[in-house]
Structure 1
């Protein structure tokens, strides 16, 4: 893909495109740790209309990168190094439930120690305050999970409640309302869009609370059946969900509240994604579909809380976070109710209308640091997330896999699920530096149609737009996570169902898949399961 890429001078003047007007930084809105998101890339970086030029490469290296990332046309054999999804960091352990929990294979011995310490903190169970375990208290007071691993089970994919399961362990509801007159005016003009939480319940519904406090409520999911007939007469039953909140303990939600479900995403390869040069991602954006291929990916942007600079969003279901560190700190505050140096919110998502919550004790102790999870904790958890490896692919030369790869490309799936990138030569960690990786994502926002729409904007993402999720490791979902629930809310109970939910820009690819013969569809699934 190619297309209109916005170009900005140092003063923010727009030269090309229509994604932004002027650079602006939003002031805080009325709810906790709202990150303003803006439609620009700061720092004076100027992009060519069709292809950005990477500043980390020599001309010779640039030619090598362009050659090795060019889309293949030969499906008779695997591409060179195709089985090494994470380059030299690819892990090759036996396939089992721990397949997503190994460190990059090219870490140094000293870094392995950091990884293991971070792993211990990632698995840590936080407790309420006050507690004798003073390095582990600070939970909540309202929360969705007691630790990172509680949602990212085995570092894998979350899921809706299983049949008969009464509690959600890796899924929750995002909450927000449209910005009002008393909120940041910049949030109203289309240039800046932030999340304004529900006046009482904040930015997510929290179904757990510490002793002495009531949880906010619980998520309710109602499914209906939707039979879909494929081209060969096969009938697949999809399950459209509807979401609501029940047993609300602090009054009703706002009349104009917007609800969006989220399951936890797999953790593998995040550090490598962080080192994909922004130029290479932005070069794929085509918001006006100038090439006429029906694909109009666009970037999301975020203001990094440390540098206060505008950066390309690449993490989260709508690419609303720019770095692993900010994503981790946001999860600490919103999911667990633990404060960090990035988000000094010892009461987590408690709002000013939840006096009982704000009156509860916190775990902040000056002798241990200025927050419940001070820099050493956040640093190690961030390092852990940055250095999780990606398993080696399986059966890359199997005839069915090669046929499925050809059909995947032929249906246009690779237009958004871009197979490969080369990471930056300037990456801080040598393990991330100049690696050919195969995430199968362009990390851009795409309109996925009304069927998947949550009607809730997040930054530049509107209610029907989602970031292309990486596909690497998707074939090990059952092995690692014990289920095959896919998409942002787990509604797809199989890869086939997940594909059939695609609409909008992906409608033609979805229809192409639906028209395939049973054997060709099986080949496509074999290819996906090899990733």
Structure 2
């Protein structure tokens, strides 16, 4: 049965196409109207010639849903086949299932140490997480802990040797009878800056106090990388972007002289047993959503799979559940744009482009082949290039991850980001959640994005407001 949001979405697309075809004016709209259940505003007396193309409204082509409520990130791709919908529903169930201590009648195998008990516990309503214990994770590595000659191929290419007794992620909860690996205390340091027009702003950054189970601090030299749970909608479409399109965007030596030198991360594909292009994660350290799901089961819940079995070869989650969990992320739709005819939003988009933000947050791709054919041949607007970029010392974690160095981060997608606070109030921005607003997120940019940040700092307040308004429309 078609969901109400899908019905209104289809109706709105038909209406928009009609307006553009016949070039009608809209004087009857009054000040503005809201398309029912879509949140898409059309301004007063706007002509069809002034309306952006329908593709601008549809963030993900036919995989767009016309829902801008707190449930906007939880919608299935509306054009999936019947089998695709079944896969999505099975995946939804797997995503919400909580694991328990062994032995259990269902979903046993948790821990003995973990960060959370289910996928949805971190990815609340499929949105961004909050910078607090149980949500914000600490990846760790110790470059001095392992002899290179003792590493497997996968461990060698990983470039992040595990910390003895911990592994590669601090798990700060445990089952009954066990102790967490460590306790993590988050403290915030603030700093004050000033825009060119004299208006002041405040930024904050996290500092972590880690105490091991024996009361000792982390060993000297251990590298820490905080990671906020990212949103999980639209990931199947990102998986469907052709590899050659990403290769074409890569500019390792800044051949075009624009000061931006994005590059791909090449990581270990566990399933294929070879190096592959990384797409997912804050440093693009996972090649596929299936492997990323297996990684999350292991590091977040302490649950082994065929991708990452226990030392004795045992697993706690079967391949069917793993595949279902990945399918859920692959088949989540992207919410529509809002207020695209608003002149302030249009002004903000122009300022976004003038500041060269689009050089990394690439607006458009055409999807290619995918496991779910419904995701193929879609014109999408994710606002990412999926490449690694040097973001400067202030955002650096100084921890390498495969070929990503300690100052590089993958460009996050921006589609749907305008609903982040609607879906989960107080969710954070950037890899560690330090930014509480779009303004703060921009002001933390450095490295290759330094010029864009400076451009934002120099804008008068009305221009800064317009640029933020554009981001809110996504």
Are the aligned partners of 2:393 and 2:407 in contact in 1 as well (CA < 8 Å)?
yes
Which of these residues, 424, 431, 439, is aligned with residue 481 of structure 1?
Answer: 424
Distance of 2:201 and 2:180 partners within structure 1: 38
The alpha-carbon distance between structure 1 residues 415 and 287, as it changes in their structure 2 partners (threshold 3 A), is same
**1:288 positional shift:** 0.9
Query: In the alignment, is residue 114 of structure 1 matched against residue 87 of structure 2?
Result: yes
Query: In the alignment, is residue 137 of structure 1 matched against residue 81 of structure 2?
Result: no
TM-score by length of 2: 0.86
Residue 327 of structure 1: aligned partner: 292
Correspondence 1:466-505 to 2 at 5 A? 466-505=409-448
Distance of 1:407 and 1:341 partners within structure 2: 48
Distance of 1:186 and 1:413 partners within structure 2: 40
Query: In the alignment, is residue 87 of structure 1 matched against residue 52 of structure 2?
Result: no
Task: Provide structure 2 residue ranges, at least 5 long, that are not aligned to the other structure.
Answer: 1-48
Are the aligned partners of 1:200 and 1:253 in contact in 2 as well (CA < 8 Å)?
no
The alpha-carbon distance between structure 1 residues 310 and 474, as it changes in their structure 2 partners (threshold 3 A), is same
**1:179 positional shift:** 5.2
Residue 372 of structure 1: aligned partner: 316
**1:385 positional shift:** 1.0
Task: Provide structure 1 residue ranges, at least 5 long, that are not aligned to the other structure.
Answer: 1-74, 162-167, 348-363, 365-369
Residue 41 of structure 2: aligned partner: none
Query: In the alignment, is residue 515 of structure 1 matched against residue 469 of structure 2?
Result: no
Query: In the alignment, is residue 398 of structure 1 matched against residue 342 of structure 2?
Result: yes
SS in 1 for 2:256: coil
| 1:10-60 deviations in Å (ceiling 9; x for gaps) | xxxxxxxxxxxxxxxxxxxxxxxxxxxxxxxxxxxxxxxxxxxxxxxxxxx
SS in 2 for 1:100: helix
Which of these residues, 119, 125, 135, is aligned with residue 154 of structure 1?
Answer: 125
| 1:119-151 deviations in Å (ceiling 9; x for gaps) | 0110111100112x1x31000110000000000
Residue 42 of structure 1: aligned partner: none
TM-score by length of 1: 0.77
**1:344 positional shift:** 0.8
Alpha carbon RMSD of aligned pairs, Å? 2.0
Which of these residues, 259, 272, 275, is aligned with residue 310 of structure 1?
Answer: 275
More helix by share: 2
The alpha-carbon distance between structure 1 residues 528 and 465, as it changes in their structure 2 partners (threshold 3 A), is same
Residue 45 of structure 2: aligned partner: none
Are the aligned partners of 1:447 and 1:505 in contact in 2 as well (CA < 8 Å)?
yes
Aligned positions, number: 424
**1:251 positional shift:** 4.8
| 1:478-521 deviations in Å (ceiling 9; x for gaps) | 11112242000000010000000000000000000111011111
Distance of 1:294 and 1:254 partners within structure 2: 38
SS in 2 for 1:378: helix
Which of these residues, 382, 391, 394, is aligned with residue 448 of structure 1?
Answer: 391
**1:181 positional shift:** 6.1
Residue 330 of structure 2: aligned partner: 386
